[in-house]
Structure 1
Amino acid sequence: MKLASLDQGRDGQLIIVSRDLTQAVHAHDIAPTLQFALDNWDQVEADLQHLYRNLNDGIAQDVFPFNPAHCASPLPRAFQWADGSAYVNHVELVRKARGAEMPESFWTDPLMYQGMSDGFLGPRQDIEMADESWGIDFEGEIAVITNDVPMGTRTEEVHGHIKLLMLVNDVSLRNLIPAELSKGFGFFQSKPASAFSPVAVTPDELGDSWHDYKVHQRLTVHLNDKLFGEPNAGVDMTFNFAELVQHVAKSRHICAGTIIGSGTVSNVDRSSGSCCLAERRMLEIIDQGQAVTPFMKFGDKVRIEMFDDNGDSIFGAIEQTVVKYQHQYDPADLNHHKPD
């Protein structure tokens, strides 16, 4: 099943999207929003699946063309957004470039931070930034959305708790990170609003590509219409999503609608390219002694997408342009989407 949220109201309006991402149908008679659906998953899943089958079979009523430009993030805002760093070779590379040793514990205990979740960017929404000197970067990732997960849940108990998957552009401001981390209190200003793919999909939509709690497909990233990287998300993932869920649940209950990210997808085999500018810059430092690739400038465009074995887009594409933010204070601007 493929689900999306039209950009209507703070929490969007839930729609069902066809498997080929060409058509959609409103689901408001079953669940007005995706958060409502997640809160009541056991009660609404069968009806949503029935509507999805009818849409794909061509017998659904009131069908309309699907346009990602009209979508918010599948969850326009979430109760929790926890982003990990499951591809540890990426972390090792970044530390190596600055001459820092990586603690052995990084291979056995996931890194994770709690990010901004009160308003995500839509899949076609501009990345507004006030200053290019902040080191604007994209990060291509995968994320899961859970239902309610009890505190202390172990990896062998995670089955059934992962309800949906999405792609992520975890926007990062690289030049703000060092000063924040030097305080010993983690990211804040350096991690603005993230963007998610137009649709979220149930694990069964991935078929054989979803196993071992990993997505075994390439994540394709284009920068200014040129291929930047296409590493395989199922390769070199040190911590799978079951392990990431267990990590989050160690000391807290997880609320339905919690989003957990994989961190930047990265392969040891560098021939597949990268999913963020920082990684390419680190490779340049290691190989050439200095970084050559610049961070994003105003007007730069990024596209993040994943395809199945037939070459069809699974989640739709995140397509964003970096633009200059013009500060004109209005309380309504605190909402990324139209007010209720």
Structure 2
Amino acid sequence: MKLASLKNGLDGQLILVSRDLTTAVSASDLAPTLQHALDSWAQVEGKLEERYQQLNDKQCADTFAFDPAACASPLPRAYQWADGSAYVNHVELVRKARNAEMPASFWTDPLMYQGMSDGFIGPRDDISVREESYGIDFEAEIAAITDTVPMGSTPEQSASHIKLLMLVNDVSLRNLIPSELGKGFGFFQSKPASAFSPVAITPDELGDNWRDSTVHHPLTVHLNDELFGNPNAGVDMTFNFAQLVSHVAKTRHVGNGTIVGSGTVSNVNRSSGSCCLAEKRMLEIIEFGEAKTPFMQFGDQVRIEMFDDQGNSIFGAIDQTVVQYPVSQ
């Protein structure tokens, strides 16, 4: 299934979107919001699936053209947003550029932070930032949405609790990060609201490209209409989504609608480019002794999308422009 949330109040209005992302139909009579659907997944999944098949078979009345700009993120807000860093070679590269040794535990125990989840950015909404000096960066990622996961669930047990997948732009303010991490208490101001793809999909939509709790497709990033990176998400993922969800559940019960992110998609083979500016800048520092690529400026545009083997968009595109948030006088 492909599900989306039209902008409507704080939690949106649930719709089903056709596999080719051209048409949609309301699902609000089955579940008014995606969170409501997740809270009653066992009761509504079959009904949603039936309507989704009718939509694709052109047997639904009252369909309408799907417009990603009319959508909020699939979960406009969530009870929990936990973002990992599953592509450990990316972490190793960033640390190498500043001559910091990476602890061996990073390869066996996932890094993770808890981001703000009380209001996400829509997939076509602007990224509003007060100052360019903050070091504005995009981070192209994949995320899973879970149902309730019992505390202490193993990776094998956690795999069955992954209900939906999305793309993510985990916006980072790079120049605010060093001082925050220097305090030894993690990210806060340096991690503003994230954006998610127009639709969330059930893993079966990926067919054989969803295996081992990993998405096996390239993730494509364009910056100002130029290809920036196209690394394969199924390559070099040190911790798969089942392992990440299990990590979240180690000491707590995980509630319906929890979002777990993969971290920036990154390949050891750099020929396919990067999914964030920081990685490219680190490669430049290693090669040239200094970063040559600037962070995003007001007016810059980033587009994040994933395509199937036939070249069709799977999740729709996150397509955003950086704008200045009005500064109070």
The 8 Å contact of residues 220 and 306 in structure 2, kept in 1 or not, is answered as yes
Higher mean C-alpha deviation, range 150-159 or range 27-36? 150-159
Q: Aligned ranges for residues 8-19 of structure 1 at < 5 Å?
A: 8-19=8-19
Tell me if 1:156 matches 2:138.
Answer: no
Deviations 1:151-172 (A, max 9, x none): 0000111232000000000000
Q: CA RMSD in A?
A: 0.8
Q: How many equivalent pairs are there?
A: 329
Tell me if 1:296 matches 2:272.
Answer: no
The 8 Å contact of residues 87 and 239 in structure 2, kept in 1 or not, is answered as yes
Q: Match for residue 248 of structure 1?
A: 248
Q: Match for residue 52 of structure 2?
A: 52
Tell me if 1:89 matches 2:103.
Answer: no
SS in 2 for 1:316: coil
Distance 2:279 2:159 in 1: 32
Tell me if 1:320 matches 2:320.
Answer: yes
Deviations 1:288-332 (A, max 9, x none): 000000000000000000000000000000000000101469xxx
Q: Match for residue 261 of structure 1?
A: 261
SS in 1 for 2:302: strand
Q: Aligned ranges for residues 227-246 of structure 1 at < 5 Å?
A: 227-246=227-246
- Identity level (%): 75
Q: Match for residue 174 of structure 2?
A: 174
Q: Aligned ranges for residues 1-340 of structure 1 at < 5 Å?
A: 1-327=1-327
Distance 1:119 1:328 in 2: 22
Distance 1:275 1:156 in 2: 29
SS in 1 for 2:165: strand
SS in 2 for 1:59: coil
Runs in 1 of length 4+ with deviation above 4 angstroms?
A: none
SS in 2 for 1:52: helix
Query: What TM-score results when the alignment is normalised by the length of structure 1?
Result: 0.96
The 8 Å contact of residues 140 and 265 in structure 2, kept in 1 or not, is answered as yes
SS in 1 for 2:151: coil
Alignment-mate amino acid for residue 125 of structure 2: Q
Distance 1:211 1:116 in 2: 29
Segments of 5+ residues of structure 1 without an aligned counterpart are 330-340
Distance 1:129 1:80 in 2: 23
Distance 2:117 2:28 in 1: 24
SS in 2 for 1:251: coil
Q: CA deviation at 1:118?
A: 0.2
Deviations 1:28-82 (A, max 9, x none): 1100000000000000000000100000000101000000000000000000000
Segments of 5+ residues of structure 2 without an aligned counterpart are none
